[in-house]
Structure 1
Amino acid sequence: MNNLLNILLMAQPAEGQSPYGSFIMLGAIIVVFYFFMIRPQMKKQKEMKKFREELKKGDKIVTTGGIYGKVLEIQERVIIMEVEGQNRLKIDKAAVVKDMGDVAQK
């Protein structure tokens, strides 16, 4: 497998072909990766940051660990949330992944 990869990478362009074709193809691959993988991930991270900044008291949330609760207090990096049975948990803002306000409750 390694030998095949070395042969493909070291292959010289056929006579009459432009050596820039392989550079153009590499550039096209980078552009495709950017638009289909990197850019959507960056957009998702921006949306999550905005969501966490807009949290307010009373919002229903879900943590990365799957704990459902309601926001009681918001500090700079910490959220105090209430879970079933009036138990309180202190969690990091980065652990909040969803707002359950728009999901129908059973």
Structure 2
Amino acid sequence: MREVILFGAAAQSGNLLSTLMLPVLFLAIFYFFIIRPQQKKDKKIKEMRNSAKVGDEVLTIGGIYGKIVKIKDDVITIEVGSDKTRFNITKWAIGSIQASSETTEE
């Protein structure tokens, strides 16, 4: 009778281990396929926005193309259109940096 009790306790601990393993497996899959790639993407975008400099051609998240003329902390002044209209945007509004006009002229 004593051996049966020990065997039952071992079965319960094995059952507990398999019960906990499934959620841990799902969390690991969730982390490696969703959270980690998003963190890498966010880091890359942040580096791109911090590397913006005067003279760069940018595309805002609103779809406006412009040239950076001034950077002050988190506010960027861009020139837009043939009449050189200037307005301020925040750094997080930069969708992508197209090219530096200084580099394309050389």
Q: Same-fold call, TM > 0.5? A: yes
Identical positions, percent: 36
* Displacement over 6 Å in runs of 4+: none
* 1:47 has 2:44 as partner: yes
Between 1 and 2, higher relative CO (CA 8 Å, sep ≥ 6) is seen in 2
Match of 2:62 in 1: 65
For structure 2, which runs of at least 5 residues remain unmatched after alignment? 1-10, 101-106
Aligned residues: 88
The one of 30, 37, 40 equivalent to 1:33 is 30
Which structure shows the bigger proportion of residues in helix conformation?
2
- TM-score of the aligned structures, taking structure 2 as reference length: 0.76
Deviation string, structure 1 residues 84-104 (Cα, Å, up to 9, x no partner): 1211110001100101128xx
Equivalences for 1:87-102 in 2 at 5 Å? 87-101=85-99
RMSD between superposed Cα atoms in Å: 1.7
For structure 1, which runs of at least 5 residues remain unmatched after alignment? 1-14
Deviation string, structure 1 residues 30-54 (Cα, Å, up to 9, x no partner): 0111111111111111111111111
Which structure shows the bigger proportion of residues in strand conformation?
2
Query: Which structure is larger by alpha-carbon Rg, 1 or 2?
Result: 2
2:95 corresponds to which letter in structure 1?
V
- TM-score of the aligned structures, taking structure 1 as reference length: 0.76
